[in-house]
């Protein structure tokens, strides 16, 4: 489904990604992991065409996409969440999901607004669909709450729901479990699997090793922009270069502890 080939990204003197190659098969959950500053978000930014790579190619379903603008990549079926949440805080929960649907249905924003006043048949359908996405993510009771009033855990779910509402073929999740407690992280793992089971291929960037190890079919490990390992969770857990990269990295104690436990 996705082939990343010899990707290099430079920001002035900083080499954020250096000659990185990996692929994602349809139906998989693939984890992109590595210490802070490894180049994970930069890779996501190139796959979702926030900016182009300096060198290399990205092929999605047989089509080269590395030079396409993001408004042309999204309709091909790639959607994402952001490490720094990008929900619309002044909109309600259901309106945020409708923004995701908007990309798919091409209902104009005026249509979306009028929908909230008096529903036409077509608009009613969009509303009902939005509600079913909220149910999928367990957010239905919060549909009329302003996003600003949500907890971090619910905000992460909302951003996930909005990305899912675009009906992507490939979904990129950037630190979707960051800041969540243990119970919320477990629920997130289940949701990611449920999304995969619904037919969406998933690429996750995540620091929570328990989550990554339990849900991913394959892991790709970056360190300082370079791919240092690729394999099943079990293979990665036993990989010397990976252990060294993590334990030698400048990460906080609780993170180090978690990685150590997992490895
Ligand atoms: P990760 O997500 O793995 O923590 P990033 O991809 O965010 O890492 O960053 C990798 C490196 O690229 C870092 O040194 C970071 O400072 C740099 N970087 C990322 N985005 C930009 C940018 N837009 N401009 C300049 N440098 C950037
Ligand atoms: Mg990042």
pLDDT classification of 258: cutoffs 50, 70, 90: low
**What is the whole-number distance in angstroms between the Cα of residue 86 and the centre of ligand 1?**
18
Beta bridge partners of 31: 204, 219
Which helix (H) or strand (E) segment is 156 a member of?
helix 152-164
* Strand blocks (E) in 107-246: 170-174, 201-205, 218-223, 226-231
User: What's the pLDDT at 257?
Assistant: 57
N- to C-terminal Cα distance for the chain?
A: 29
CA neighbor of 18 nearest in space, from 244, 223, 230, 250: 223
- If you take atom 14 of ligand 1, which residue's CA is the nearest one? 37
In a domain, 259, yes or no: yes
Which residues constitute the domain of residue 95? 87-166
- If you take atom 5 of ligand 1, which residue's CA is the nearest one? 39
CA neighbor of 33 nearest in space, from 213, 222, 185, 232: 222
- If you take atom 23 of ligand 1, which residue's CA is the nearest one? 11
In a domain, 82, yes or no: no
Q: What is the pLDDT of residues 27-67, one digit of tens each?
A: 999 999 999 999 999 999 999 999 999 999 999 999 999 99
Query: Reduced to 3 states, what is the DSSP secondary structure of residue 2?
Result: strand
Could you tell me the sign of the dihedral formed by the alpha carbons of 121, 123, 126, 131, in that order? negative
* Strand blocks (E) in 61-168: 63-64, 78-80
In a domain, 64, yes or no: yes
Q: Which residue has the higher pLDDT, 219 or 70?
A: 219
Regarding the beta carbon of 51 and ligand 1, being less than 6 Å apart is answered no
In a domain, 238, yes or no: yes
Domain total in the chain = 2
Q: What is the pLDDT of residues 117-173, one digit of tens each?
A: 666 666 778 889 999 999 999 999 999 999 999 999 999 999 999 999 999 999 999
Give yes or no: residues 91 and 47 share one domain.
no
Beta bridge partners of 203: 30, 172
- The CATH number of the domain where 174 resides is what? 3.40.50.300
Atom index in ligand 1 nearest the CA of residue 225 equals 10
Give yes or no: residues 162 and 173 share one domain.
no
Answer yes or no: are the C-beta atoms of 145 and 154 closer than 8 Å.
no
Give yes or no: residues 36 and 67 share one domain.
yes
Q: Please provide the size of the chain in residues.
A: 263
């Amino acid at each position: 489904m996705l082939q990343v080939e010899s990707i290099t990204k430079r920001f002035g003197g900083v080499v954020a990604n250096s000659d990185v190659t990996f692929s994602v098969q349809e139906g998989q959950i693939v984890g992109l992991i590595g210490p802070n500053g490894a180049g994970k978000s930069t890779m996501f930014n190139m796959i979702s065409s926030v900016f182009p790579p300096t060198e290399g190619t990205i092929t999605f379903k047989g089509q080269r996409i590395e030079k396409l603008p993001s408004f042309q990549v999204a309709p091909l079926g790639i959607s994402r969440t952001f490490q720094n949440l990008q929900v619309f805080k002044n909109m309600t929960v259901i309106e945020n999901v409708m923004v995701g649907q908007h990309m798919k249905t091409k209902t104009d924003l005026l249509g979306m607004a009028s929908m909230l006043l008096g529903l036409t048949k077509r608009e009613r359908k969009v509303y009902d669909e939005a509600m079913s996405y909220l149910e999928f993510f367990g957010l239905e009771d919060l549909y009329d709450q302003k996003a600003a009033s949500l907890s971090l855990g619910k905000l992460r779910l909302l951003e996930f729901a909005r990305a899912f509402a675009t009906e992507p073929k490939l979904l990129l999740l950037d630190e979707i479990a960051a800041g969540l407690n243990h119970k919320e992280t477990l629920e997130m793992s289940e949701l990611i699997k449920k999304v995969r089971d619904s037919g969406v291929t998933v690429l996750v960037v995540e620091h929570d090793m328990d989550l990554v190890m339990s849900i991913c079919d394959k892991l790709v490990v970056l360190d300082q922009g370079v791919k240092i390992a690729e394999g099943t969770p079990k293979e990665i857990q036993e990989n010397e270069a990976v252990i060294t990269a993590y334990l030698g990295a400048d990460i906080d104690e609780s993170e180090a502890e978690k990685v150590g436990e997992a490895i």
